[in-house]
Structure 1
Amino acid sequence: MKKAPVRARTTTAKTTTTSGPRAGGTAFQKGLKALQHYVEREGGMPGRGVVERLPDGTEHRTGIWIGNVRARRDRLGPDQLAALAELGVEWA
């Protein structure tokens, strides 16, 4: 049985990286809003599987988001950390 030939990669590799908070931070703001809604309703931090429905009808995977933000907390700005701490995030 013949093996299929190996194909060359056709997409370009990522060449730029960013460090620090992005200008605008719309994804962060959406996550913060979803976390705020969850904390107001439930009184605590969401579990990993929590999906929060926002007033505009969109859904946000808040549990995943808080884990990702925690893993990348060294890239958050002081304002972002303060906003998280205000909602009760212990590591912020």
Structure 2
Amino acid sequence: MSTSLFEDDEASVAAAQAGLGVLPSTLHDAVVDRVAGVVAEATLELPTETRWRSRGGRTGIHSRPMGYLLAELQHIARSHPGATW
């Protein structure tokens, strides 16, 4: 599982150094182990090779599919102000 979720950036490094958070990179193995366990319990298999992945989400650069998802979420929230989920 390779994703920008586990990439350290300037803000996460500063937070970790100040004792206010952890480096995302230190969470990778624990998350992968947990996800692998859930996937195995569901009798599925994790892909062995990633063909593509998005990068830059922490700096505001998102993939086209993420843009569509964000637009849909904004539409729902604006259509139902004050709603809670």
Per the normalisation by structure 1, the TM-score is 0.22
Q: Which structure dedicates a bigger proportion of its chain to helix?
A: 2
TM-score, length basis structure 2: 0.23
Larger Rg: 1
Greater strand proportion: 1
